[in-house]
Amino acid sequence: RLRLHDGKLIKDRRYHLRTYPNCFVAKELTDWLIDHKEAPDRETGIRLMQKLMDHYIIHHVCDEHSDYKDAKLLYRFRKDDGTFPLSKDVKVFVRGQSIYEKLVSTEESILKVREENSVKYQRTFLGCEMIDWLIQEGEVENRKEAVELGRALLEHGIIQHVSNRHHFSDSDVLYQFWINFRRRRRLTELLNENSSRALSESPDSPFCLRKLNPEPGNTSFLSVQTNKEIKIVSAVRRSSITSLAGNSNPYFSTSPMLVFPPVAECNPKSVLKRPITNEELLSPGAPYIKKTLTIVGDAVGWGFVVRGGRPCHIQAVDPGGPAAAAGMKVCQFVFSVNGMYVLHLDYQTISSLIMTGPRTLVMEVMEAIE
């Protein structure tokens, strides 16, 4: 974005007697990506910019196109028009980057190469050392607040325990910055992300394990991975799923695996007794209460299915999963996802927001008052 501003590709443009500030022409930008070796060809350039659209970084100036078109259409960075969703997750990421830059710019920095169990780790620090530094630099007021910040950084994948065995604590345990914020990245790296998250593979939301048999007392769920391998997992053993997958770390060494239901079980009948409109949901005196849920995904996922649209509702909740533990229930309506208002979106879009977001999911839901 900054390079485009410097190169005058982003500027005020006039179209149909109206001036659109700080925008670029899609076709010109595709040319720029190729000329500056950010993309090998136009097809890749289009895919890259679509990725930025999907992540709410750029958008059409009038929001008339949800796809990035290689044409004489005007697009804009949301950062330039104030519509970038500065959610809690983005704020944690920006805070982590700020702390990292401050640390690497300091003489006698606590970030060092250290060795543990004959393995050398880059950008490491002791938990208690980091807490001392945060208080000394005025980043936090006390040790409790510092621990909370450290845990937020770990839960968002910015720092981690060097062997992925501990959450952040005020101790002499060794941690490291998992992200090297100073490494120059290329746009094409965006295309290396796991594309198996695409919703086109299933008309359902892949967050909940499907029950094999609905008989009472049967706690087995069916998990169909994207490679179509079928696994049977007991709901009462969800906490040990990471070890079953060959990874004993309950924290953030891998992204949550997403599970897809069998085709025969897609599109189940809605759990709602009747359709509810946004107007009915938001009208003054409506019998609904808003709740905030914080759901930390495990190795299987988050443990729920979202369905419908405008508004979406919770169709199913895995009784042994993270969503149920956070207080999610069927028939709740999804109000926001990670700080973004979503009552006007369909379930495919909401599912995409969740899957491309962090493992710690913050949702606001509206629940009927009994």
pLDDT at residue 171, rounded to an integer: 93
Q: What number is the average pLDDT over the span 230-259?
A: 36
Report the pLDDT averaged over residues 221-232.
Answer: 34
Residues written for the chain: 370
Give the closest residue to 159 by CA, choosing from 92, 86, 90. 92
* Residue pair 162/153 in contact by the 8 Å Cβ criterion: no
Whole-angstrom Cα Rg for the chain: 23
Helix (H/G/I), strand (E/B), else coil: 55:
coil
Mean pLDDT of 41-68: 91
**Mean pLDDT for the chain?**
79
Over the range 49-83, which residues count as b (16 or more CB within 10 Å of their CB) and which as e?
bbbbbbebebbbbeeebeebeeeebebbbbebeee
Alpha-carbon span 266 to 347, nearest angstrom: 14
Single pTM value for the model: 0.44
Measured CA to CA, the distance from residue 334 to residue 342 in angstroms comes to: 7
Q: Do residues 125 and 150 lie in contact, with contact meaning Cβ atoms separated by under 8 Å?
A: no
pLDDT for 16 equals 85
29 band by pLDDT with thresholds 50, 70 and 90: very high
Instruction: Give the residue, 64 or 218, on which the prediction is more confident.
Output: 64
Mean local confidence (pLDDT), 236-250: 35
Q: How far apart are CA 272 and CA 313, in angstroms?
A: 8
CA distances from 362 to 11, 247, 294, 295, 306 (A): 36, 25, 5, 6, 15
Q: Which domains does the chain have, with CATH numbers?
A: 11-77 (1.10.10.10), 88-177 (1.10.10.10), 278-368 (2.30.42.10)
Asked if pLDDT for residue 302 goes beyond 50, the answer is yes
Q: In this predicted structure, what is the pLDDT of residue 207?
A: 59
Q: Residue 370 pLDDT more than 90?
A: no
Q: What percent of the chain has pLDDT over 70?
A: 79
Confidence category of residue 204, pLDDT binned at 50, 70, 90: very low
Residue 151 clears pLDDT 80, i.e. is over it:
yes
Decide if 60 contacts 87 (C-beta within 8 A): no
Q: What is the mean pLDDT of residues 250-261?
A: 38
Residue 199 has pLDDT above 80, yes or no: no
- pLDDT of 226 over the 50 cut: no
Any idea which of 225-234, 269-278, 361-370 has the lowest mean pLDDT? 225-234
Angle formed at CA 189 by CA 348 and CA 80, multiple of 5 degrees: 70
Which structure tokens are listed for 180? 């090297």
* pLDDT of 339 higher than 60: yes
Q: How confident is the model at residue 362 (pLDDT cuts 50, 70, 90)?
A: very high
Among 257, 204, 198, which Cα is nearest to 229's? 257
Give yes or no for residue 293 having a pLDDT over 70. yes
Q: Residue 196 has what pLDDT?
A: 39
Omega of the bond leading into 311 within 30 degrees of 0 (cis): yes
| 159 pLDDT above the threshold of 70 | yes
Cα 221 from Cα 209, distance rounded (Å): 5
**Is 165 in contact with 154 (CB distance < 8 Å)?**
no
91 — pLDDT class (breaks 50, 70, 90): confident
Task: Classify residue 13 by burial, with Cβ atoms within 10 Å: 0-12, 13-18, 19+.
Answer: middle
**How high is the pLDDT of residue 327?**
93
Do the strands 74-77 and 58-60 form a parallel or antiparallel pair, or are they unpaired? antiparallel
111 pLDDT band, cuts 50/70/90, is very high
Above 50 in pLDDT, residue 334? yes
339/155 Cα distance (integer angstroms) = 17
Give the residue with greater pLDDT, 328 vs 182.
328
C-alpha to C-alpha distance for 272 and 308, rounded to whole angstroms: 10
Reported as a single tens digit per residue, the pLDDT across 120-130 is: 898 899 999 99
